Structure 1
Amino acid sequence: MIEKYSKVLTKIQEADGIVIGASNGLSISEGIHIFADNSSFREHFGDFREKYSFHSIIQGCFYHYPSQEEKWAFFSRMYDYFLYKTEASPVMKNLYELVKDKNYFVVTSNIDDHFRQAGFPKERLFEVEGNCRNLQCVNGCHNQIYPGDDILSKMAQKQENGEVPPALIPKCSQCDSPMQVHLEVDRHFLKGESWQASYQAYQGFIENVHGKRLVLLELGVGARNQLIKAPFMNLTNREENATYITLNKGRELYIPDVISAKSIGIDGDIAEVLQQLVYMK
């Protein structure tokens, strides 16, 4: 295993560009599992579970709440759950330490905004499905995305009996409709100027490393997440000097034969693998 770690580290150190792709498995390594009805979910969202009979954070994101007061109680609670610790997790600190001196870009379907919390700059980050701390018009009536930290914090602190005070519910400045968290939970998800700028930055990065030594570092991306996995595999196959490195657990670790000669897979806990790589750096 140490030999495989050394190979991964060498590829990262020699890379002209690194694209990090991250999904739910990375969050799980931090202790957050948005698909699980586990003890953490029951501790922090047990009242929602009992009242609405959903059994995970992701189900709560898609639930049709009877009122705006109840809806914002959930989303502000989720915001608080993801970001109440102002310091990044050891997992994210190690990931940043591993690539901070390299030419890198991040594409992620995670909604917890832990990359920016760990020091990854916004300019090198494409959050495909949004994140929990930004707001948009519920109808997507205009293109602007707004920071929601202040109001989400207030709602998290002031909610009672599963509702937030009506006066705290944010309204759109253009059409006076309610706002919503900028997450891809319905057809109104805003792929406006900010989202498009991040997407173009991602595409531009890939174009700039064409033909160079490219590492695609995939962290906890499940087989069903084709937003990240399929483009990574296609890019590995297309780019002569690309190396596909995937960290995952068990059957989620998959490398197709067509790119196996250009790939390295490590089956294990992402937190432990990153810690070991940083130790060996």
Structure 2
Amino acid sequence: MKKIIEKIEESDAILIGASNGFSICEGLHLFGGDQAFQELFPDFIEKYGFSNILEASIFKFPKEEEKWTYLSRLIWHYSGTYHGSSVMDSLKSIIMDKPYFIVTSNGEGHFSLAGLENEQIYEIEGNWLSMQCAHRCHDTLYPSMDVIKKMAQVQQTGKITSEMIPKCPFCGREMQIHVATDHNFIPDSDGQKRFQSFVNKYHGKNLVVLELGIGCRNQMIKAPLMNLVNQEPNATYVTVNKGEIYIPEVIKHKSFGVDGDMTEILTLLKGKMTSM
């Protein structure tokens, strides 16, 4: 841990990769039918037998009203009422005043909601805070939270009606949350450019790549970050995950793998950095 702290403090910038493991530490488990899921969606579980958030999110609901009932309840609970978390607070303290960039496959928008700069975040699979034309008649993104909030509030006393379903302002057909669920997803090309610009800016510099909760199957983030560390002579790779640490032999000499509870590990890093 001392060596990791030294690398972070000596770094010129920090590149953060985050995936499902980080969300789990914040109480959002896409793949697990935990108590929170059961308490939030008892009606959908009874009707469709859903076992987790992801299964319900990719389900083709027979009616748009049902789809938006599910989505608005989900998004308002996890994003609309989000006020930070201990693991997020620790990460922000670890970053300190360092230049940083975040690449994430998490779609709940917590990094921006926690006050981190939008321009320093690349959400490769979109996020719940935006919506797009479901048929991609054009590539403009629209804020979703006003619609989500109204729908979530209506559910407290009644049902979502067809008049509340958001429609595309161009073609008049349905909208969808801006996440990568089908071929109509609008990729964040600007985010990708900002990411590449950050990498170019700190080429050859002391760069710490901090990977948080990314499993081996998530090659969209994990493989590019490990390749970057291999190519950058002064880069350090730090991977934090519970029960699944993978470091290729080619970058082993400049890598650290920390297996355990991420909340505890980042809290420990934060405490030791502030005490040094």
TM range (shorter): over 0.9
Partner of 1:89: 85
AA matched with 1:201: R
Q: Once the two structures are superposed, what CA deviation does each residue of 1:179-211 show, in whole Å capped at 9, x if it has no partner?
A: 1100001111112xxx11111000110111111
1:70–1:162 Cα contact (<8 Å) kept: no
**2:116 paired with 1:120:** yes
Partner of 2:169: 173
Instruction: Give the 3-state SS of the residue equivalent to 1:215 in structure 2.
Output: strand
Output the aligned Cα RMSD. Answer: 1.4
Partner of 2:214: 221
Provide structure 1 residue ranges, at least 5 long, that are not aligned to the other structure.
none
CA separation in 1, counterparts of 2:237 and 2:245? 12
Deviation of the 1:84 alpha carbon: 3.9
CA separation in 2, counterparts of 1:162 and 1:24? 33
Partner of 1:212: 205
Structure 1 residues 103-182: aligned runs within 5 Å: 103-159=99-155, 164-182=160-178
Q: 1:106 to 1:56 in 2, by over 3 A?
A: same
Partner of 2:265: 273
| Aligned-residue identity in percent | 46
AA matched with 2:259: D
Instruction: Give the 3-state SS of the residue equivalent to 1:199 in structure 2.
Output: helix
Provide structure 2 residue ranges, at least 5 long, that are not aligned to the other structure.
none
Structure 1 residues 35-54: aligned runs within 5 Å: 35-54=31-50
CA separation in 2, counterparts of 1:31 and 1:268? 16
1:223–1:254 Cα contact (<8 Å) kept: yes
2:23–2:29 Cα contact (<8 Å) kept: yes
TM-score (norm 2): 0.96
Deviation of the 1:100 alpha carbon: 3.5
Instruction: Give the 3-state SS of the residue equivalent to 1:176 in structure 2.
Output: coil
CA separation in 1, counterparts of 2:63 and 2:82? 30
**Shift >4 Å, 4+ stretches:** 160-163
Deviation of the 1:167 alpha carbon: 1.4
Counterpart of 1:262 (choices 229, 241, 254) is: 254
2:229–2:251 Cα contact (<8 Å) kept: yes
TM-score (norm 1): 0.94
